[in-house]
Amino acid sequence: SEGHLRIVNATVNGMPLGNPCGATLGVGTGQSAGGGASTLNAVSQDGATIFFTTPSLRPHVTSSEPGCEDPAALYMRVSDGEPVEVSLPQPGVILNATEVKPVRYDYATADGSKVFFNTETPLTAGESSGEKTANKLFEYETEAPEGKRLRLIAVGVPPIPGAGVLLDETSMYFSTDGSTVYVEAGAGAGVHQIYRVDTATGATSFVAA
């Protein structure tokens, strides 16, 4: 920016986030069969908003290679501001170490106003015992008031990173404005079912099998 390099995954004082393995745009290279789908809109169209995941030193996270752990937290940085942890639980939600699971970036709108991710971590108040352990799709609205940015969209979504076609697996497809997500879930024996989720209301409807 303006001829200068700036570290994104660091505080405004220059302190790095996470461990020395660094950070990746979106959910990281090689973790989505959709090619570059795992980084879709991880940088907003105007370049001001960046979404990235960082490894974690939390003991329950399994190392994928020596010294590195799976991405466990999703962050947002706007311009030169302080990085914000998008995957942070809502105020009042207290978690123990075993409840904190890796976060998978899925999609963000081109203007950076909304970002979607999935995780098994119970992040919102009022989740039932079944919802707490299920994999869930969350939306984080970057321009909403504090405390109202994070919303639970759907429960039981496939634990996959990115958006787009994943051959012989499961997929999620997002409308450009983030108002709709189509979930393709494998039902065994080569049968897949497609569901439509309205992200504003959370209403889910069956489309086809």
CB-based contacts of 121, cutoff 8 Å, min separation 6: 87, 89, 95, 99, 100, 101, 103
| Contact assessment for residue 85 and residue 75, using Cβ atoms and an 8 Å cutoff | yes
- At 62-87, the pLDDT tens digits run 445 554 654 468 999 998 899 999 99
pTM of the predicted model, to two decimals? 0.86
- Sequence-distant (6+) residues with CB within 8 A of 124 are 89, 90, 93, 138, 150, 151, 152
Dump pLDDT digits (tens) for 139-167: 999 988 888 899 999 998 888 888 876 65
